[in-house]
Amino acid sequence: MAGRRMDRLDLAGDGKAQCGASLRWCVRDRVPSRERYAGRRSAVPVVPVHPSVSALGVQLHLGADVHLAMTLPRLRIVPAHRAELLQYFEEMMGSLPRYFELQDAEDGADLAAARGVAAKLEGVVHSSDTDCDYMPCVLEADDPASDAFFAAVGVARDARASVSGWDNPKLEVVRAGEGEETRPTIALLTRLNDSELARIDEYVGDGDRAALERAVQELERIGPVVGIQLCTDDGASKLCLTVARRAPGVHVGVMTVRVET
């Protein structure tokens, strides 16, 4: 990508970094690993507390083997993609069951719609400290921008998280649009800020931009679009979803991972 300092890890011998069929890597010094992120998480994890409990004004510190009963949003991922994510983002994937009920994506109209979006982005990677493909996903949940969604995930709207020392919202959900408190769909897919989006040619090549615009059209054809970004518990990764509402409680689109070190 023009304007980004990226040193590709050449695993294919042709200048393209490839790990498996759907995950490509681009790292500045070394591949993230369990050892790399060791020590970033508290030895005593803070388990997300459902609002019915946190309303008591009590913050519960529980052992890793203790779980609070709550109805989590269901995130469906293609099994092969889930296996690759687990291989390369072990710490991140290990934390996701705190926020989502992870299930295999099943063949059907919802997955077909998600694959239709991902197909528009074939060959395009989401660029951060690590490049990752866009993978189809199905989110079964209330409106992600609603208070009910935050309650189901167990994260307060004003919760913050440190990602490699940078302060971020723990969970951020933004509707696509052109008005206040919205962002263009292409911004949700790329996670470029307003300044970067104004100079998008410096970050996205012509071919990738055309693919992104096709994905934008497909998402907006399906229904209202939201972008979801969750800072996971490894201290360096963010799970990013860009999904469109296909039916009440069903959102389809793509997911990817940002790594910030």
Q: Would you give per-residue pLDDT tens digits along the chain (261 residues)?
A: 444 333 333 333 333 333 333 444 333 333 343 333 334 433 334 444 443 333 333 333 333 333 344 589 999 999 999 999 999 999 999 999 999 999 999 999 999 999 999 999 999 888 766 779 999 999 999 999 999 999 999 999 999 999 998 899 999 999 999 888 999 999 999 999 999 999 999 989 999 999 999 999 999 999 999 999 999 999 999 999 999 999 999 999 999 998 987
Structure tokens at 180: 């206040």
Give residue 127's pLDDT: 74
- Which one-letter DSSP state was computed for residue 226? E
Structure tokens at 88: 């390369």
Would you say 217 and 208 are in contact if contact means Cβ atoms under 8 Å apart?
no
Give residue 48's pLDDT: 45
Give residue 176's pLDDT: 98
Give residue 42's pLDDT: 38
Structure tokens at 50: 């459902």
Rounded distance between C-alpha atoms, residue 116 and residue 254, angstroms: 10
Give residue 261's pLDDT: 77
Rounded distance between C-alpha atoms, residue 101 and residue 111, angstroms: 17
Q: What's the 3-state SS for 60-127?
A: CECCCCCCCCCCCCEEEECHHHHHHHHHHCHHHHHHHHHCCEEEECCCCHHHHHHHHHHHHCCCCEEC
Domains in the chain: ranges and CATH: 73-259 (3.40.1460.10)
Structure tokens at 168: 């971020």
Neighbouring C-alpha atoms within 13 Å toward the C-beta of 58:
6
* Alpha carbon separation from 84 to 25, 110, 152, 213 (Å, rounded): 12, 22, 27, 27
Question: Cα dihedral sign for 26, 28, 30, 33?
Answer: negative
